[in-house]
Amino acid sequence: MHYLTKHPKLIQFGILLIVFFALMSMTGEYAGYLELRDGFSNKVESGKIQAVASFSDSVSMILRGQLPPQFIRIPEMHFYNPVISGSIGYLLTMLFIIAGLSFKNYYSASKDGRVLVSSWFKKNWNKLSIYVFTGIFGGLFIAPTLFTWIFLEPTTFSFWDMPGIIHHFARFLMFDFWPVEVYDPDIEEYEFSAMIKEITRGFSRSILFIIDLIREVLLGGIKTIVAFTSWDFISANRWAKWPALPWTVVSATAIMVGYALKGWRLAFLAAFATIYIAFFGAWEPAMMTLSLIFVAAPVSFISGLTLGVLAFKSPATEKVLWPILNITQTMPHFSYLIPVGVFFGIGDHAGCIATIIFATPPMIRLTLLGLKKVSPEVVEAGMMSGCNNYQLLFKVLIPSARFDILIGVNQVIMQCLAMAVISSFIGAKGLGWYLLLAINNLWVGAALQLGICIVLIAVVLDKFSLAWANKQTDYFAELPFMQRHKYSLFFLVILFAGILLAYIGSFIFKGDINYLYQIPYNKGFSMADTFQAGIDWFLKTFFWSLQGFNKWFIVDVLLPMRASYLAMPVIATFTLLMGVGYIIGGIRSALVVGGFLLFISLTEWWDRALITSYTATVCVLVSGVVGVTVGTLSASNARASKIVLLVCDTFQTLPSFIYLIPVIILFGITDTSVVIAMIVYATVPATRYTIEGLRSVPQDMHDAGSMSGVNRIQRLIKIEYPLAFPHIMLGLNQTLIFALFMVVIGALIGTEGLGQGILESLSNKQGIGKGLMLGFCIAFIGLLFDHLIQTWASKRRKLLGIG
Partner 1 sequence: MSSQDTSSQKNNPVIKCESVYKIFGENAEKMLQEANGNVDAQVFQDAGCVVGVNSASFEVYKGEMLVVMGLSGSGKSTLLRCISRLTEATSGSIFIEGEDLLALSGKELIELRRNKMGMVFQSFALLPHKTVLENIAFPLQVKGNKLKDAMTRAKEMVDLVGLTGRENYFPRQLSGGQQQRVGIARSLAVEPDIWFLDEPFSALDPLIRKEMQDEFLRLQGVLNKTILFVTHDFDEALRLADRIAIMKDGIIEQLDVPANIVLNPATEYVRKFTEEVPREKVLKIESVMDPVNSSEELSDLKVSKDAIIETVAEAVLNEDKPVAVVDENDKVVGTLHYSKVIHMLFGEIPQQEEKH
Residues near partner 1 (CB under 8 A) are 112, 375, 377-378, 380-388, 391, 395-396, 399-400, 402, 475-476
Please say which residue, 121 or 175, places its beta carbon nearer to partner 1.
121
Give me the helices (H) in 161-246, please. 162-171, 195-219, 223-228, 231-236
Q: Which amino acid type is present at position 497?
A: A
Q: How far is the CB of 400 from partner 1 (least distance, A)?
A: 6
Burial of 488 (0-12, 13-18, 19+ CB in 10 A): exposed
Q: How far is the CB of 108 from partner 1 (least distance, A)?
A: 10
CA 7 to chain centre: 38
Burial of 798 (0-12, 13-18, 19+ CB in 10 A): exposed
Residue 265's alpha-carbon distances to 22, 75, 257, 268, 272, in angstroms, are: 62, 62, 12, 5, 11
Cα separation of 35 and 239, whole Å?
Answer: 68
Please say which residue, 407 or 439, places its beta carbon nearer to partner 1.
407
Q: How far is the CB of 448 from partner 1 (least distance, A)?
A: 43
Q: How far is the CB of 474 from partner 1 (least distance, A)?
A: 9
CA angle 775, 781, 786 (to 5 degrees): 120
Q: How far is the CB of 391 from partner 1 (least distance, A)?
A: 5
Q: How far is the CB of 405 from partner 1 (least distance, A)?
A: 11
Residues 750, 642: contact at Cβ < 8 Å?
no
Please say which residue, 398 or 732, places its beta carbon nearer to partner 1.
398
Please say which residue, 386 or 801, places its beta carbon nearer to partner 1.
386
Q: How far is the CB of 646 from partner 1 (least distance, A)?
A: 25
CA angle 706, 710, 711 (to 5 degrees): 105
Please say which residue, 99 or 381, places its beta carbon nearer to partner 1.
381
User: Which residues does 216 contact at the CB level (< 8 Å), separation at least 6?
Assistant: 222, 223, 224, 242, 244
Q: Which residues of 546-582 are buried (b: 16+ CB within 10 A; e: fewer)?
A: beeebeebbeeebeeebeebbbbbbbbbbbbbbbbbb
The one-character DSSP state at 764 is -
Q: Which of 392, 221, 370, 224 is nearest to 308 (CA)?
A: 370
Residues 24, 570: contact at Cβ < 8 Å?
no
Please say which residue, 382 or 569, places its beta carbon nearer to partner 1.
382
The one-character DSSP state at 282 is -
Q: How do beta strands 78-80 and 156-158 pair? A: antiparallel
Q: What is the maximum span of the chain, computed from C-alpha positions, in angstroms?
A: 95
Cα separation of 308 and 405, whole Å?
Answer: 10
Please say which residue, 384 or 482, places its beta carbon nearer to partner 1.
384
Please say which residue, 100 or 399, places its beta carbon nearer to partner 1.
399
3-state secondary structure of 239: coil
The one-character DSSP state at 242 is B
Angle between helices 264-279 and 444-470 (to 10 degrees): 150
Q: How far is the CB of 403 from partner 1 (least distance, A)?
A: 9
Q: How far is the CB of 114 from partner 1 (least distance, A)?
A: 14
Q: How far is the CB of 738 from partner 1 (least distance, A)?
A: 33
Q: How far is the CB of 476 from partner 1 (least distance, A)?
A: 6
